[in-house]
Structure 1
Amino acid sequence: MLSKEETAFIDYWEKNRLRRKKTVRQFLLGVPLGLLFAVPILLSLTSGWYKRANMEANSPDFNPRVLFVALLLIVGFTSIFWQRHKWDQYEQRYQELLARRSRDQQPQTPPASVAQSQTPPSTQSPSASAAQPETPPAGKSEPLSAAQPENPPAGQSEPMSAAQPQTPPPAADQK
């Protein structure tokens, strides 16, 4: 039986799952997390506590546009990746709850084969015992053991037994 919280989640996710899957929406919802990565980078660069980074930033080879593009890429990738991961988690929870709800709604009756096996042999009908063959099917005179595979590996015509030792292939002549 599903709780009220789980039922509320199913209702919410049925209404919002397609809207939350859109990339633009994922970007907009994930920007705060992306900024959590970009703002400390800017703060450490502008604070001057790391002298070598400060020297690089003041050199003539430094291009602030490259830093800006890199920060935008970090924000974009982090925000979209985080929201897609979150969407996948919600979708998995939604599928699990739907499966549990459908399993709870089905009647709890045992299968017919289990019900027959639980009845004592004296109460089974004669037709049920006659339906079970006592002889093996045609073409299989004895059951396969664990040592004999049903299909032999490639290159062997018959299954190997313990009495037949395996011989290595002949070595090629080396010149």
Structure 2
Amino acid sequence: MSYFCTMITKEEEKFIDYWEQSRGKNKRWISVLTVGLPLALLMVVTIFANFFSGWYKRAAMIRNSDSSQVMVLMIAAILIVGFVVYFSAKHQWDMNEKRYQEFKQKRDRAGNS
């Protein structure tokens, strides 16, 4: 068992207080959107810019000959946005929860010493 730095810092105590108050709030859909939406939109805009830039001539010919390709791309973009938004928000919540549990254990150990 290691006893390195069992004291809890003020920042860790602030995080514990913050997370105890906002654990449930961070599962609302608006906070979920704010976490992953910028990354998802950046990915989709990059894909669209690449698709419509015309740098790959064969892909441009296929796109111009078949209009359903754009519809498939739109559906894929929506799925990408949904996937990235959901999983990035879930990941951030899990990381904050893990951090909260670690700090809380550290505080409990420091109080028992």
TM-score range, shorter chain: 0.7 to 0.9
Q: Deviations over 1:27-66 (max 9, x none)?
A: 3431101112111100011111111221221113534222
CA shift for structure 1 position 103 = 1.0
Equivalent position to 2:15, from 6, 9, 18: 9
- Confirm or deny that 1:80 pairs with 2:86: yes
Q: In the alignment, is the contact (CA less than 8 A) between 1:27 and 1:76 conserved in 2?
A: no
| Match status 1:105 vs 2:111 | yes
Q: Partners of 2:63 and 2:34 in 1: how far apart?
A: 30
How many Å separate the matches in 1 of 2:69 and 2:101? 48
TM-score (norm 1): 0.57
- Of structures 1 and 2, the one scoring higher in RCO (CA 8 A, sep 6+) is 2
Does the 8 Å CA contact 2:26/2:93 hold for their aligned counterparts? yes
Equivalences, count: 107
Q: CA RMSD in A?
A: 1.6
Q: Which runs of 5+ in 1 are unaligned?
A: 109-175
Q: Match for 1:59: what amino acid? A: S
Q: Distance in 1 between matches of 2:23 and 2:31?
A: 11
Percent identity for Structure 1 against Structure 2: 45
Max Rg structure: 1
2:24 to 18, 30, 36: 18
Structure 2: tracts of 5 or more residues without a match: 1-6
Partner residue, 1:40: 46
Does the Cα contact within 8 Å between 2:35 and 2:88 map onto a contact in 1?
Answer: no
Secondary structure of the residue aligned to 1:2 is coil
Task: List 4+ stretches of structure 1 deviating above 3 A.
Answer: none
Offset, 1:74: 0.2
More helix by share: 2
Query: How far apart in 1 are the matches of 2:82 and 2:33?
Result: 7
Which of 56, 65, 73 pairs up with 1:67?
73
Q: 1:89 is aligned with what amino acid?
A: M
Q: Does the alignment pair 1:58 with 2:67?
A: no
Q: CA deviation at 1:77?
A: 0.5
